[in-house]
Amino acid sequence: MLLWLWPVPLPRHSPQELAGTRGWIGRYFRRPPDLRGLMLCRAAAATSDVLLLGAVITLLQIEPVVAAVLGILGLIVSVQAATMRADYRRHLDEALPRPTDREVDAALAGHLLDIENRALTVLGLRPADIVATGTTWNPIADLEHRPHRNGERDYRPLIVVTPMVTTRSAIGSDGVWRFAAQEVTVICPTEYHVAVFRCEQDLITGKRRGEQTQEFFYRDVVSVLTANLPGPDLTSEPFDHRSEGRVPISPPGRRELQFAAPSTDRTMVAVGVTGRSSGARIRDSGIDAAIEGVRNLLRVMRRPPDSVRTAPGRAERPAQ
């Protein structure tokens, strides 16, 4: 009978078999099926057992018509219970096992390294063209859960990582709110201009889209502005990996870095999240570090010609 066969487990993949395969990171953002569905399946299986048992008892009492009706009903409910169970196990296998918080962070760190290299290629720059901005912001080290090394990012582009809060999301067991897609801005300051590369990175598919570039020459930048804006509304509730279950949350705001030039009113350079989000912690996007670094750089680069100009943070680039 279905009710007695119910505890028999179905074959499952191990995390080691699935790690690194296509769709592995996407499992992190999938919600497992509700346990109420499992209870409903078991209730249907128990109902089918009762109907089939009643059909047998009725047949022994020489009531073939009633027995046939009960048997047919029992078989129908049995098929429905088996279908419900198969659907439940299929959805469960699509969500479990899933990657850990650190695996998702490591995947994003790898994408950021690729985007940084892509930005330099598209903008026609070399690593030696980048000047220091005096900031210590290092999102890759944060995602790799390792300490920052002094001077590691001095002569590397500034990276701003902004979660796209309208995509699927999940709150990890560490309380960090992670999103399935990010808007990534790579700011490349050189001796004569600031080059910007922007794209969207999808963690589930691993694909990039919407690549854009901008270039601002120091002589054309009149001022640096910031604007705090409300964040977009959530389109879906995040899946909470924590044992305490669902916690009410609110989305963070947005902060923009803007340049004002004589030919245009304002141009948005980078955008990041700002403010605290109740119920979960969103990792720093780096927008404040980018604003600080760009302001430091412009103060130096726009000094009068007779003053000494050195990039903020370090007097000269270390020998390669």
Cα 34–Cα 35–Cα 38 angle in degrees, nearest 5: 110
320 residues of the chain, pLDDT tens digit each = 445 455 544 546 555 555 566 778 888 888 877 777 777 777 777 787 777 777 777 777 777 777 777 778 777 877 777 777 777 777 777 777 888 899 999 999 999 999 999 999 999 999 889 988 878 888 888 888 887 766 666 678 999 998 887 888 888 888 888 899 999 999 999 988 889 999 999 998 889 999 999 888 888 887 788 888 777 666 677 777 776 656 656 667 788 888 887 766 667 777 777 655 566 788 888 888 888 888 888 887 766 555 444 555 544 555 44
Tokens describing residue 242: 């924590």
pLDDT of residue 148: 72
pLDDT of residue 11: 47
Does the pTM surpass 0.85? The reply is no
Whole-number Å distance between alpha carbons of 292 and 48: 68
Whole-number Å distance between alpha carbons of 190 and 222: 18
Backbone angles phi, psi at 257, to 5 degrees: -100, 125
230 Cβ neighbours under 8 A, 6+ residues apart: 253, 254
pLDDT of residue 315: 43
pLDDT of residue 16: 54
Of 205, 228, 229, 225, nearest to 216 by C-alpha is 225
DSSP string, the chain: -HHHHTTPPPP---HHHHTTSTTTGGGGGPPPPPHHHHHHHHHHHHHHHHHHHHHHHHHHTT-HHHHHHHHHHHHHHHHHHHHHHHHHHHHHHHHSS---HHHHHHHHHHHHHHHHHHHHHHTT--GGG----S----HHHHHTT-PPPTTTTTTS-EEEEEE-TTS-EEE-TTSBEEESEEEEEEEEE-SSEEEEEEEEEETTT--EEEEEEEEEEGGG--EEEEEEEPPPPPSSPPEE-STT--------EEEEEEEE-TTSS-EEEEEEEES--TTSBPPP-SHHHHHHHHHHHHHHHTS-TTS----TT-SSPPP-
Q: How many CB atoms lie within 10 A of CB 136?
A: 16
pLDDT of residue 311: 52
Of 269, 76, 295, 98, nearest to 186 by C-alpha is 269
